[in-house]
Amino acid sequence: MSTKIIDIVARDIRFPTSQSLAGSDAMNPSPDYSAAYVVLKTDHPRSLEGHGLTFTIGRGNELCVAAIDSLKTLIAGQTLESFTSDMGAFWHRITGDSQLRWVGPEKGVIHMATAALVNAVWDLYAKAEGKPLWKLLVDMTPEQLVSCIPFSYISDALTPEEALTILCSNSATKELREREICASGYPAYTTSVGWLGYSDGKLRSLVREGLAQGWTHFKMKVGRNLEEDMRRARVIREEIGWERKLMMDANQVWDVEEAIRCIKELSVFRPHWIEEPTSPDDILGHATIARSVAPVSVATGEHCHSRVMFKQLLQAGAIKFCQIDSCRLGGVNEVLAVLLMAAKFGVPVCPHAGGVGLCEYVQHLSIFDFVAVSASLENRVLEYVDHLHDQFVTPVVMRGDRYMPPQTPGYSIEIKPESLARFEFPNGLAWKEQVSAAV
């Protein structure tokens, strides 16, 4: 029995989050968390559907939806099994249309749309196998995993043989780690306290709430004004002390020399890492900053669009933490490439989350990374933000500061039908109410 993809529906879903200043940072003062959302409909007897999304912050989401529509002829009418029998070939098929490739290549709108579709196919695959995505990956043989990975443009940093060696070296002990993670969960940090839009009073009370909930790692936004950053960092350190970790996120606002100057000032607050100090495209800039501000660690990745960029960040020694994004990279296949490269270079992967659906996505990736690739939790924490989880059919389950492994088959990214209807842009009720209120 094969499962045919008979229809592909892309929708523009936006949440009016800009009104609360939750999510505000130095580069992105007023995001409306949004999803270019795709559903693969099938002829499966149980009407299985594949769901995927790519995350944006509002305007521009329509372009990712349009790009999904442009890509969907590469998938429509095919069977799931024709893809799962060779997931590497599937990824090359969807990224290899030479005309569509031109408007990337492998970056920006077309690549973000690719991610939504690739992830939707993996979601469908996992549902067909009756497993959560992380478990589908964990149960694959090293050979099967390697066959999913696009090695083009990275073979100078990671060969298929090296990837196989890493995976094989962990095979015998996979079960132990799976049991551990199912019992104790994957450690997380919170970004919910430190958005720039908040007053010092609100910041302090949020940190206290976070402490009460058991958080040990706290991230703050910096970069709009150094003096304010210093003041806010002091508030947080007063509350969390010096044992707990404080991370800082500049969201790309600095030039290289400015970054070095600001980070040196901020270093008195002993940041665990400084995130996105400059342009995500500036590999050499990150390397210069990393050398100049050591022992402060540089982290980046949420805007790194491909395995080629991560390869260079690793080769250049530019990052101490690798922050993959589940839908800026071209979906699960390309994420696997980065997880394996990071393992080879000995750099911990701490995925970007928050937004809408990113926590739901990346829990699978980090759990798989621990069980099958890195085999370590050292210096690994997964981002957590308490936004919009109630929009999902199977939201993340936190126990204190730990993500508990999802048990439902799939990639956990299905948004409730009533939320899709309410937040569809521009005709959902939530947006019609906005217009009415503004008139």
Which of 124/256 has CB closer to its own copies?
A: 256
Q: Annotated catalytic, 352? A: yes
Angle of CA points 127, 396, 46, to nearest 5°: 20
Would you count residue 284 as binding its own copies (CB under 8 A)? yes
| Ordered DSSP codes for 265-324 | HHGGG--S-EE--S-TT-HHHHHHHHHHHTTSPEEE-TT--SHHHHHHHHHTT--SEE--
Minimum distance of its own copies from residue 278's CB (angstroms): 6
Interface residue with its own copies, options 108, 142, 160, 395 (CB under 8 A):
108
Would you count residue 105 as binding its own copies (CB under 8 A)? yes
Residues 135-154 that bind its own copies (CB under 8 A): 152-154
Which of 182/316 has CB closer to its own copies?
A: 316
b/e map 36-57, b = 16+ CB within 10 Å:
bbbbbbbebeeebbbbbbbbbb
Residues 167-186 that bind its own copies (CB under 8 A): none
Q: In this structure, what token pair is assigned to residue 376?
A: 């370590």
Would you count residue 102 as binding its own copies (CB under 8 A)? yes
Length of the chain (residues): 439
Which of 159/376 has CB closer to its own copies?
A: 159
Which residues contact residue 260 at a Cβ distance below 8 angstroms, ignoring those fewer than 6 apart?
288, 289, 292, 293
Strands 49-56 and 186-194: unpaired
Interface residue with its own copies, options 4, 43, 70, 160 (CB under 8 A):
70
Minimum distance of its own copies from residue 63's CB (angstroms): 6
- On whether the CB atoms of residues 124 and 336 are closer than 8 A, the answer is no
Which of 34/42 has CB closer to its own copies?
A: 34
Q: What is the CA radius of gyration of the chain?
A: 21
Residue 116: name the closest of 7, 62, 38, 34 by CA: 38
Would you count residue 156 as binding its own copies (CB under 8 A)? yes
Would you count residue 383 as binding its own copies (CB under 8 A)? no
Which residue in this structure is represented by tokens 């100049």?
292
C-alpha of 229 from chain center: 25
Would you count residue 292 as binding its own copies (CB under 8 A)? no
Which of 62/180 has CB closer to its own copies?
A: 62
Which residues contact residue 71 at a Cβ distance below 8 angstroms, ignoring those fewer than 6 apart?
94, 97, 100, 110, 113, 114, 117
Peptide bond into 348 cis (omega under 30): no
- On whether the CB atoms of residues 307 and 329 are closer than 8 A, the answer is yes
Would you count residue 99 as binding its own copies (CB under 8 A)? yes
Interface residue with its own copies, options 23, 31, 348, 409 (CB under 8 A):
31
Would you count residue 112 as binding its own copies (CB under 8 A)? yes
Binding span for its own copies by CB under 8 A among 4-12, 93-101, 230-238, 336-344: 93-101
Would you count residue 52 as binding its own copies (CB under 8 A)? no
Q: Annotated catalytic, 135? A: no
Would you count residue 282 as binding its own copies (CB under 8 A)? yes
**Residues annotated as part of the active site:** 221, 352
Interface contacts to its own copies, rule CB under 8 A: 27-32, 56-64, 66-67, 70, 97-112, 152-156, 252, 255-258, 278-285, 288, 303, 305-306, 308-309, 311-312, 315-316
